Structure 1
Amino acid sequence: MTRHRHSNLAMLCALLALAVTAHAESPPNADDANRTTAAHPTGFARFRDTQDGAFDLSDLLLNHKGVLPVPTIITEPAVGYGFGLGLLYFSAPKREASNNAGSASNSADAKPTMSPPNITGVGGFFTGTHSWGAGLMHFHSWDDDHIRYLGVLGKVNLHLNYYGPQGNANAYQLSGVTVVQQILFRIANSPWYVGPRYTFFDSATRFGPLLPDGLHHLERDVRVGKGGIVVDYDTRDNMFYPSHGTYAEFEADFARGGFGSSNAFDMQSVKAYHWIELTPRWILGLRVDSGFSQGDIPFFAQPYVSLRGVSDARFQDRNQVTGELELRWNVTPRWALLGFGGAGKAWGKLHAFGDAPTAFGFGTGFRYLIARKLGLSMGIDVAHGNGQNAFYIQVGSAWR
């Protein structure tokens, strides 16, 4: 579940209904968590925050028993409008008693660290373009969040567009089964994580009677098997919608026959997000996202520019680089307004960097703090890009 998504559009769409909560953090405020655990509101009280009386889902999300349904409205221009539903089950990881005692003894004001919950989910989606997908995922952490595991299994059938050298849309169908396995290990007690990731996608591609320019030797059935290394750095105050801190990720993947791949190619991606608290009410966000590929890479797996207001995979080539700014105004403790804008390029095969068209997207939006104890906000972004308008229902930050 990355923002660059190294062009693995199939995996993205298959898990769209799950992505909003796949890496949910436990409440950042230990006192809130303890109070919530001690008392379980019932009836309408579970939808009210005990602090300000506002509509809030914190107690429902933290104390629900059984399976939590998560409906999602899909507004991605690449696949059209649609609906998704995820069923999620949360459980708290076991914590080391010695760690808790050590944390408490360091300082009178120290609070025990909060590990992310374990999550098991199943979900699916369907859109107006007859694209559909279904997925199963599990996220688990051990040793006070020193080990993180993510496993995904998904099936997709997508109706998309391929944009060739002239920028013309060519409709095609992409279907297949995808598997993701990842495990990350924290380096000592630092904000650094490192570990392996394996991705497999058994795909079938179908165009019309005529193939677009540049794809005359298209292989219709391709298996993509990639093994790689992931390095994460995370100092965000909240992973849903941060006010300060940095999240960065580097990934290097190698697709080879030994990993089950039909084609041999390499991919590298670097992304970094940084939030600056200019004042308590004004937050500036900075984003840089890049992807590079070499070798015999399938067209649908190439890096692409991802911006609000721009259809995913419209600007796609061997390499891509994207930059974006976002300015947020916290009007009240619950409501926030924001403006954003960015640009990017994809180049390497279809175009040289200087000749490649520039993708751009800008717009505005709002957020409502719907679960204060989780720091979870929801809202809508409205954006304009290259010749089109789009809107997005967002859970937390648009940068993932």
Structure 2
Amino acid sequence: MSGYATCDALLRSLPAVIVLCAAIATTSVRAQTADGTAAPSQANQAVTPEKPDTSTGPAKEKVSWHSKDDGDFDASDFLLNHRGALPVPTIITEPAIGYGGGVALMFFSESMADAARNAKETGVMTPPNITAVGGMYTENGTWGAGLMHFHTWGGDAIRYLGGLAKVNMKTDYYGLSNSPRTYQLNGWLLVQQVLFRIGHSHWYVGPRYTYFDSNTHFTGQIAQEVGLPDAQRRIGKVGLVIDYDSRDNMFFPNRGSYLELELQAARPWAGSSQSFETYNGRGYTWLPLARDWVLGLRLDGRFSAGDTPFYAQPYVKLRGVQQGRYQDQNAAMVEAEVRWNVTPRWSVLGFGGAGRAWGKWKSFSESDAVVSVGAGFRYLVAAKLGLAVGIDVAHSKGENAFYIQVGTAWH
């Protein structure tokens, strides 16, 4: 997979759990402060929404692992009332780096149920602040470790996300020859981001700074087309992030849209050893087709200009496609997904997508178009939060892969 993208993804989510827990915090507080009842987790579902305890008493809640409504396994009470450190395991199935796993230890400033009670008392909705530390390791020797912090101010009007990670990754670069050349990427990554809500709208905007100090080394055949294949490089990027989020649930939406635009420039004055720009845009929307059917659509474009390091080039990211297999100066993807909520707890889905990478090694018409298809299922593991987990199985040309998913595959 793209080395820099992997490191960035690791730090910004550790791996993906910090965003998950921040979303849990924000979603749970919103759900519990809406007339004292939890928001429905599935559109038009038959289960009566459960009422979380919003009393102001300090007594510790008795955790139940089963729903009071249907008796099925449900982790809502545990997630809402947990205090102190929360271990979050991760299973990695990405073909580019092999099977592996990781764990993150999350520290909440207060339980999410306490945050909801405080919001009802003060009239200001503020999710808990979260600090996380964790690491991961895969079968090909790739490993990483990081420290992160998520913080909000002004009733979620300002969101801060930052952290530091150390990564040692082994993966392949295809490039001009369209054949795998194995390389190792070792470095430190720093990310700092602050987003400001525009009024009371669904829009957020703010700056992001990324710094990556890395060493690259090809362990076998060298990719001569990348210039200096074995070198120390620094990426220092400053940019602007614009977010729009109208989803009814941050984990497993039934309606609404999410949009993010990233405009970033790497310059020597920002700590970069070479100058280049990246322009990324992604949008997802979910449309209810009928009582139990939901259509999801995805459009994703990633573009670069200037002296972009080979490991930071955009790549096609689709389920069933090895990350970094199709990589060039630009990349674009489209994807559609249809979901059937079979019961209030269980849902099945089918998806298909296409992508293309072009610009430096091949023109748009000369580049390969990759198509992937697949299917999966989800189980609603925390009804009060709308949090579902499951597995997706996908196929593309010459490749098969499966993924353990928390909520939607689109983040």
TM-score for both structures, normalised by structure 2: 0.88
What is the correspondence of 1:97-112 to structure 2 with a 5 Å cutoff?
none
| 2:298 aligned counterpart, secondary structure | strand
Please give the alpha-carbon distance, in whole angstroms, between the structure 2 residues aligned to 1:166 and 1:61: 49
Give yes or no for contact 2:217–2:229 (8 Å, CA) kept in 1: no
* Number of the residue aligned with 2:95: 77
Please state if 1:56 is matched with 2:78.
no
Counterpart AA for 2:53: T
Residues 204/7 of structure 1: CA separation in 2 closer, same or farther (3 Å cut)? closer
Counterpart AA for 1:373: K
**By how many angstroms is 1:385 displaced?**
1.5
Counterpart AA for 2:305: Q
What is the correspondence of 1:150-165 to structure 2 with a 5 Å cutoff?
150-165=161-176
Counterpart AA for 1:36: D
Please state if 1:320 is matched with 2:321.
no
Give yes or no for contact 2:97–2:138 (8 Å, CA) kept in 1: yes
Residue among 5, 9, 22 paired with 2:6: 9
| 2:177 aligned counterpart, secondary structure | coil
**By how many angstroms is 1:41 displaced?**
4.7
Deviation digits for residues 159-215 of structure 1, max 9, x if unmatched?
Answer: 100012232111110111101000000111111110000011111101035412412
What is the correspondence of 1:285-300 to structure 2 with a 5 Å cutoff?
285-300=296-311
- Count of aligned residue pairs for this structure pair: 386
* Number of the residue aligned with 1:261: 272
Counterpart AA for 1:29: A
Give yes or no for contact 1:326–1:341 (8 Å, CA) kept in 2: yes
Please give the alpha-carbon distance, in whole angstroms, between the structure 2 residues aligned to 1:397 and 1:334: 15
Residues 116/396 of structure 1: CA separation in 2 closer, same or farther (3 Å cut)? farther
* Number of the residue aligned with 1:106: none
Please state if 1:347 is matched with 2:355.
no
**By how many angstroms is 1:325 displaced?**
0.4
Please give the alpha-carbon distance, in whole angstroms, between the structure 1 residues aligned to 2:260 and 2:220: 41
Please give the alpha-carbon distance, in whole angstroms, between the structure 1 residues aligned to 2:85 and 2:118: 32
* Number of the residue aligned with 1:90: 108
What is the correspondence of 1:206-245 to structure 2 with a 5 Å cutoff?
206-208=217-219, 210-218=221-229, 220-245=231-256
* Number of the residue aligned with 1:68: 86
Residues 198/216 of structure 1: CA separation in 2 closer, same or farther (3 Å cut)? closer
Counterpart AA for 2:336: L
Counterpart AA for 2:128: P
* Number of the residue aligned with 1:35: 52
Give yes or no for contact 2:54–2:117 (8 Å, CA) kept in 1: no
Give yes or no for contact 1:17–1:85 (8 Å, CA) kept in 2: no
Residues 98/129 of structure 1: CA separation in 2 closer, same or farther (3 Å cut)? closer
Please give the alpha-carbon distance, in whole angstroms, between the structure 2 residues aligned to 1:222 and 1:185: 32
* Number of the residue aligned with 2:46: none
Please give the alpha-carbon distance, in whole angstroms, between the structure 2 residues aligned to 1:16 and 1:47: 26
**By how many angstroms is 1:319 displaced?**
0.6
Residue among 179, 185, 209 paired with 1:198: 209
**By how many angstroms is 1:50 displaced?**
2.2
Deviation digits for residues 20-70 of structure 1, max 9, x if unmatched?
Answer: 62432332432246733448553xx52112232211111101111211111
Give yes or no for contact 2:184–2:219 (8 Å, CA) kept in 1: no
Residues 313/113 of structure 1: CA separation in 2 closer, same or farther (3 Å cut)? farther
Deviation digits for residues 57-107 of structure 1, max 9, x if unmatched?
Answer: 1110111121111111110111110011011122359989999699xxxxx
TM-score for both structures, normalised by structure 1: 0.90
Residues 275/7 of structure 1: CA separation in 2 closer, same or farther (3 Å cut)? farther
**By how many angstroms is 1:216 displaced?**
3.9
Deviation digits for residues 273-316 of structure 1, max 9, x if unmatched?
Answer: 00001123100000000011111110011111110001111111
Please give the alpha-carbon distance, in whole angstroms, between the structure 1 residues aligned to 2:119 and 2:409: 34
Aligned CA RMSD, in angstroms, stands at 2.5
**By how many angstroms is 1:136 displaced?**
0.9
| 2:79 aligned counterpart, secondary structure | helix
**By how many angstroms is 1:156 displaced?**
0.6
The worse-fitting range, judged by mean Cα deviation, of 136-145 and 221-230 is 136-145
Runs of 4+ with >4 A deviation: 4-7, 92-102, 112-115
**By how many angstroms is 1:220 displaced?**
1.3
Please give the alpha-carbon distance, in whole angstroms, between the structure 2 residues aligned to 1:96 and 1:376: 18
Please give the alpha-carbon distance, in whole angstroms, between the structure 2 residues aligned to 1:375 and 1:219: 47
Please give the alpha-carbon distance, in whole angstroms, between the structure 2 residues aligned to 1:228 and 1:5: 20
Counterpart AA for 1:299: F
Residues 288/275 of structure 1: CA separation in 2 closer, same or farther (3 Å cut)? same
Counterpart AA for 2:64: R
* Number of the residue aligned with 1:378: 389
Deviation digits for residues 211-255 of structure 1, max 9, x if unmatched?
Answer: 124124335110111000001011000111111000001110010
Residues 5/377 of structure 1: CA separation in 2 closer, same or farther (3 Å cut)? farther
